[in-house]
């Protein structure tokens, strides 16, 4: 099946590991050029070089902290200079939190607001005009099942991911006339290196797999983690022409964890 992604240019924030890296790989496998964004420069460059070699596409790294306005500007300038604009923006960079509302200070709320919401706002503002010039485009926002089904220990994560979902819907309405499709994906449990690291910290080398299984069992549904590639397949489809009637929606890819309709 030709997904129509050959030669497209995609920016993937957090494209250097985990879900974002799998999405970058999936897009590159379809012939798209990719821009990997992350703070750790070495890892970003290594993965870009590997993807370019493996898939015969152009892959570049832009090391930047997208929780800052300057970092977003660097991504917009770098991608525009290299490719003259982009066709696909994947707002994926993000991380979990751990606090109570009573104890968390403003600075923590502000950090997550900047990372999960303002980065998407700033990058959309920078890239939408170039998408318009190119005749259309795709923005995908990676929120979380926690945007609608909160986990008790991460109120800031739940709240900022819910805001990202609403931003996505609102942007979709604004740019539908420009042939730019905007959607949100809400993943459930996805086995990224970070989950493994945390599980090892909690349960040790011998107990981490059992710990991860207990997390999956508690979620219910399929009672297992997805691989990053399973998520990436869904992202790649939504980026493609095969999803041409899809905009303004939120798609859950959570193995049945969501408890509501
Ligand atoms: P990882 O921790 O594996 O990767 C996060 C990526 O984001 C890395 O590339 C990291 O690179 C980058 N990143 C983090 N902060 C910044 C920043 N300030 N500026 C630029 N880049 C940054 O995450 P996952 O793959 O697990 O998650 C990806 C997204 O999916 C997140 O938004 C997460 O909330 C969401 N999600 C994940 C789920 C899961 O189970 N894994 C479930 C539901 C949603 P670097 O550290 O070098 O900056």
Q: Please report, rounded to a whole number, the percentage of residues in the chain having pLDDT higher than 90.
A: 99
Edge-to-edge strand list for the sheet holding 9-13: 59-63, 33-38, 9-13, 88-91, 137-142, 180-187, 250-253
Q: Is the pLDDT of residue 49 over 90?
A: yes
Q: What is the pLDDT of residue 103?
A: 98
Tell whether ligand 1 has an atom less than 6 A from the beta carbon of residue 20: yes
Most ligand 1 atoms within 8 A of CB, residue of 21, 78, 95, 195 to mutate: 95
What tens digit of pLDDT does each residue of 113-162 get? Answer: 999 999 999 999 999 999 999 999 999 999 999 999 999 999 999 999 99
Query: Measuring CA to CA, which residue among 141, 149, 226 is closest to residue 185?
Result: 141
Active site residue 245: no
Catalytic one of 157, 208, 245, 251: 157
Q: What is the pLDDT of residue 13?
A: 99
- In short, whether 184's Cβ falls inside 6 Å of ligand 1 is no
Answer yes or no: is the C-beta of 95 below 6 A from any ligand 1 atom: yes
The number of residues in the chain equals 261
CA separation, residue 185 to residues 112, 247, 253 (Å): 18, 12, 7
- Sorting pLDDT into bands at 50, 70 and 90, what band is 24? very high
Tell me, in angstroms, the distance from the centre of ligand 1 to residue 177's CA.
31
Give me ligand 1 centre to Cα 186, in Å: 14
pLDDT for 1: 86
Answer whether 190 contacts ligand 1 (Cβ < 6 A): yes
Nearest Cα residue to 115 out of 168, 76, 67, 161: 67
Cβ(91) – ligand 1 distance below 6 Å: no
Q: Look at the pTM and tell me if it is higher than 0.95.
A: yes
pLDDT at position 140 is 99
Tens digit of pLDDT for each residue in 186-207?
Answer: 999 999 999 999 999 999 999 9
């Amino acid at each position: 099946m030709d997904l129509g992604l050959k030669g497209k240019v995609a920016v993937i924030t957090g494209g250097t590991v985990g879900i974002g890296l799998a999405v970058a790989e999936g897009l590159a496998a379809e012939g798209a050029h990719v821009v990997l964004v992350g703070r750790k420069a070495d890892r970003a460059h290594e993965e870009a070089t590997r993807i370019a070699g493996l898939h015969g596409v152009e892959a570049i790294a832009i090391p930047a902290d997208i929780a800052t306005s300057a970092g977003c500007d660097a991504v917009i300038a770098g991608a525009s200079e290299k490719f003259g604009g982009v066709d696909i923006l994947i707002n994926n960079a993000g991380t979990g939190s751990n606090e109570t509302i009573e104890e968390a200070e403003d600075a923590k709320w502000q950090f997550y607001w900047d990372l999960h919401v303002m980065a998407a706002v700033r990058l959309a503002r920078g890239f939408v005009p170039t998408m318009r010039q190119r005749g259309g485009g795709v923005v995908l926002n990676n929120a979380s099942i926690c945007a609608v089904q909160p986990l008790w220990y991460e109120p800031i994560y739940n709240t900022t991911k819910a805001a990202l979902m609403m931003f996505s819907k609102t942007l979709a309405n604004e740019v539908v006339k420009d042939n730019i499709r905007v959607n949100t994906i809400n993943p459930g449990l996805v086995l990224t290196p970070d989950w493994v690291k945390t599980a090892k910290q909690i349960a040790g080398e011998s107990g981490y797999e059992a710990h991860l299984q207990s997390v999956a069992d508690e979620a219910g549904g399929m009672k297992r983690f997805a691989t990053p590639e399973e998520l990436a397949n869904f992202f790649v489809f939504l980026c493609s022409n095969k999803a041409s009637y899809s905009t303004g929606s939120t798609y859950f890819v959570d193995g049945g964890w969501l408890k509501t309709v």
